């Protein structure tokens, strides 16, 4: 389980054959991106979601209560 006080490791690796960027979060392949920048943005979002999940934060519930 991810520690909510730590940042997951992120890695972006260019694949010459497919010309895409492979995205890894904590060593696990989580997807591909067309550009390095797109990969950074995607991994930042996934890392934030992983930290929020590990901390028990439920964005949908918070939004429902705020309505």
User: Measured between alpha carbons, how far is 37 from 43 in angstroms, rounded to an integer?
Assistant: 10
Mean pLDDT across 40-48: 92
Q: Is 67 strand, coil or helix? A: coil
Q: Which residue has the higher pLDDT, 53 or 66?
A: 53
Specify the long-range contacts of residues 43-49, CB closer than 8 Å, at least 24 apart. Answer: 43/10, 43/12, 44/10, 47/7, 47/8, 47/10
Q: What would the pLDDT profile of 6-40 be if each residue is shown by its tens digit?
A: 677 899 999 999 999 999 999 999 999 999 999 99
Domain coordinates of the chain in residue numbers? 10-66
For residue 38, give every residue at least 6 positions away whose Cβ sits within 8 Å of its Cβ, in sequence order, or none. Answer: 21
Strands 10-15 and 20-25, how do they pair? Answer: antiparallel
- 49 pLDDT band, cuts 50/70/90, is confident
Is the pLDDT reported for residue 5 higher than 70? no
């Amino acid at each position: 389980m991810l520690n909510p006080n730590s940042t997951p490791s992120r890695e972006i690796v260019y694949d010459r054959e497919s010309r895409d960027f492979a995205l890894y979060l904590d060593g696990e392949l989580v997807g591909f991106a067309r550009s390095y920048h797109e990969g950074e943005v995607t991994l930042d979002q996934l890392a934030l979601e992983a930290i929020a999940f590990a901390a028990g934060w439920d964005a949908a519930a918070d939004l429902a209560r705020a309505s």
